[in-house]
Amino acid sequence: MNTVSPQNGGSGPRGNPGAAGSGRFEEELRAMVVDLAPRQFAVVQMWDAGHGELDGCVAAWGTVYEDGRTQVSGADGASQFVLGSPERAVWWFGREVGVTARLVWLAAPERTAAA
């Protein structure tokens, strides 16, 4: 578990939430959240549409956590999986003959100063 530096020897997680206001503390909290945020991705499927053209679609959306556990939901909402890695989602959605699948990672958020 990651933590930030205490600001005034508060009474723990159930202390006075209004007391946490210093700019430095807020910056540390935001940095911790950004560092620990799960990564999100799409699984896209591609296939030959004829005449040398490719076609494709978003087949699924996924979230991978720090421990590698990966939750994937089909874009149609009908299927949900818990997999060992994002690469397993590529395998799952690339099994159909003539279809390939790959990951497209959503950009990580920029670190921002406390608002």
Higher pLDDT, 36 or 109: 36
Q: What is the mean pLDDT of residues 30-49?
A: 93
> For residue 23, what pLDDT band results from cuts at 50, 70 and 90?
confident
Residue 8 exposed, middle or buried by CB count within 10 Å (0-12, 13-18, 19+): exposed
Q: What is the mean pLDDT of residues 30-38?
A: 89
Structure tokens at 4: 């930030």
- Give the model confidence (pLDDT) of 53-111 as tens digits: 999 999 999 999 988 899 999 999 999 999 999 999 999 999 999 999 999 999 765 54
- pTM, to two decimals: 0.70
Amino acid occupying residue 6? P
> For residue 14, what pLDDT band results from cuts at 50, 70 and 90?
low
* Structural domain spans, the chain: 38-105
Instruction: Provide the strand spans (E) within 4-76.
Output: 39-50, 53-64, 70-74
